[in-house]
Amino acid sequence: MGMLSALYAGPNEVTVYDPAVFAAVDGPGNKCTKPSWYDMLQPTVALNTTRDRVEHDDRRKAWNRALNPEALRSYRSRIDRYTDLLDDYIASHVGEPISANDIFYWFTFDIMGDLAYGKSFGMLSEHKWHYAIAWMNEFMGLLGPISPVPWLARFLFHVPGVTPKWHRFMDWCQDRMKDRLTMEPNEPDVSTWLIDHVRSDGIVGKPQFDTLHGDAVTMTIAGSDTSAQTLLFIFYHLAKDSTRQNQLRQEIIHSNAQSSDASVLGDCPYLDGFINETLRVHPPVATGAIRQAGPGGIDVAGINIPEGTIIVAPRYCIARREDCFEKADQFIPERWTSAPHMAKRKEAFAPFALGRYSCVGKGLAFLQMRCLVTQLVTKYSVHFVDNTDPDACWRDLKDNFTGLPGKLDLIFKPIKV
């Protein structure tokens, strides 16, 4: 492969560690496609799993409208509602160990339940996992180990009795979307835009419903799992470094970031740097989002990768290259603010991908994280629980396409004013 940092992982697959790979496979003018791995949901097809560029671009228009800045402002009151519910839960358990593996997942899934189906999962109010999300967690644990062999995954998903929780979850998402079609929410949600996009003469036929079913699965998993993992690691690093925790707190207080005006949340560079550094060190999709070289192949760092080759670009590994980030293994949010020289090659940072296949929910994810962090950090100090192993959260993390962190318990203590 010349000077390209890469490793052949099979007869037709290459893992590329050069940071130029992200722009090569997803940047303007590229001819890469999504490989057969993305057929796992068939016959259901979601926005992020369709391999047809024309279909993808058409459906992306509806998603862009559902998640544009104006739409996000309209969702702010609902995000605040679940932020307050999580705050209430913490307030009732002040000074006690709280499972970060529970509360941050309850928070993001409840929000997406509301925005996808017009009704939350009720986990923050009932203080327990919803059965459908428990099913999802179980089959995601299977997805990780079998992802390198996508044909086996598709086979197992269709063998009766092998993946019952997967089928129950898919049926549950289908039923919830059917319910959503019969209701008109008091406030527009994400599904409002998706339904309007496929509705023809007031009717949603089976082909159109199949796309809504697929997008319901996407909203439930991709819209929640990734943000929850990032929140867990944000609070891990806050608890680990009280100096940075206080620095972040002071920035938020002085910027008035708790304002109900969503635009104010963008005026916190250290908060954004903290989130970015968390995404760099703990990318929610560590090794996934694979591509297939299109006609003529693609050039990465001056080396041609032949047409049809499967290309894996592991964000976790690329973000730890010392020639890309100084002290790459260390958590240093200042590299995104006051020490930009520590981010030598920013093209190595692509947690949301690029171009047409970039994460359409990036704005929503940042809004959720900013809202929750600003409220909790200004009310509580965050600490590890004595005689526990907080590093287990990253050491025991499982790559199930999205990450599943190990155990992390935290203690929240009210800040004395």
Write the CATH number for 348: 1.10.630.10
- What is the pLDDT averaged over residues 129-140? 91
Q: Based on the structure, what is the number of domains in the chain?
A: 1
Amino acid at 356: R
CA distance 203 to 6: 50
Q: Which pLDDT score, from 0 to 100, does residue 1 have?
A: 44
Asked if residue 300 lies in contact with residue 4, where contact means CB atoms within 8 angstroms, the answer is: yes
DSSP letter assigned to residue 37: G
Which of 84-88, 113-117, 286-290 bottoms out in mean pLDDT, i.e. has the lowest?
A: 286-290
Single pTM value for the model: 0.94
> In terms of residue numbers, what domain contains 33?
6-414
Q: Which pLDDT score, from 0 to 100, does residue 39 have?
A: 87
In a domain, 65, yes or no: yes
In a domain, 296, yes or no: yes
Amino acid at 111: I
Residues pairing with 312 in the sheet:
15
Q: Which pLDDT score, from 0 to 100, does residue 307 have?
A: 95
Name the pLDDT band for 203 (thresholds 50, 70, 90).
Answer: low
Q: Is 359 annotated as a binding residue?
A: yes
- What is the pLDDT averaged over residues 221-228? 90
- What is the pLDDT averaged over residues 226-254? 97
For 268, half-sphere exposure in the C-beta direction (CA atoms, 13 angstrom radius) is 30
Closest CA to 279 of 187, 343, 322: 343
In a domain, 1, yes or no: no
* Of 401 and 78, the one with more pLDDT: 78
In a domain, 92, yes or no: yes
